[in-house]
């Protein structure tokens, strides 16, 4: 019997997104400008994909709010799928507080590798946007590098989080 994954569409100020869940939690959250499930099918070729459902609809609404209002925080269960190294990178990325950033080399050093390209590859393979906040990882010189869902989105997410952090009392 194949795995059952439910999916639904959501909207945010950064565009339309597709969210998918397994029994354990969110397995996929990607901005999808084409309104296609093609990449979801590629990611889970053996899964039974089902659109809709009340839980998926409510989750999509909550995620749309979270994208636009990172101050809301979240307690959304995730089902991270990847190698042990990728999961280690994603876990570290999730520990970066909103409004703060780190760089690829710093993450590599924490993981005991000198090659930041391994970290870059792990970040590039993340299929859970925003909830695994890879947008908080930038170049060593402080500049913004690529982002799977577009540099424009990365800049917008970082700016929202910086604004939020600067508004907090010290």
Active site residues: 134
Could you tell me if 118 and 107 are in contact, meaning their C-beta atoms sit under 8 angstroms apart? no
With tokens 């590039």, the residue in question is 124
Which residue, 32, 76, 83, is CA-closest to 56? Answer: 76
CB 160 within 8 A of CB 65: no
**Which residue in this structure is represented by tokens 């809301």?**
72
DSSP 14: T
**Which backbone phi and psi does 43 adopt, to 5 degrees?**
-70, -35
Give the H/E segment covering residue 157. helix 151-167
What's the rounded Cα separation, in Å, for the pair 96 and 104? 13
For 18, list phi and psi in degrees, rounded to 5: -115, 125
């Amino acid at each position: 019997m194949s795995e059952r994954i439910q999916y639904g569409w959501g909207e945010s100020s950064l565009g339309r997104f597709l969210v998918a869940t397994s029994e354990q939690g969110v397995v996929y959250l990607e901005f999808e400008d084409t309104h296609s499930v093609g990449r979801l099918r590629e990611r889970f070729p053996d899964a039974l994909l089902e659109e809709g459902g009340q839980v998926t609809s409510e989750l999509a609404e909550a995620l749309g709010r979270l994208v636009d209002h990172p101050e809301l925080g979240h307690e959304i269960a995730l089902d991270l799928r990847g190698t042990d190294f990728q999961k280690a990178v994603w876990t570290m990325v999730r520990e970066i507080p909103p409004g703060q950033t780190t760089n690829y080399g710093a993450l590599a050093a924490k993981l005991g590798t000198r090659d930041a390209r391994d970290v870059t590859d792990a970040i590039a393979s993340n299929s859970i946007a925003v909830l695994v906040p890879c947008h908080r990882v930038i170049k060593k010189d402080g500049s913004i590098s690529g982002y799977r869902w577009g540099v424009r989105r990365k800049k917008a997410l970082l700016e929202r989080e910086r604004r939020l952090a600067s508004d907090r009392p010290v």
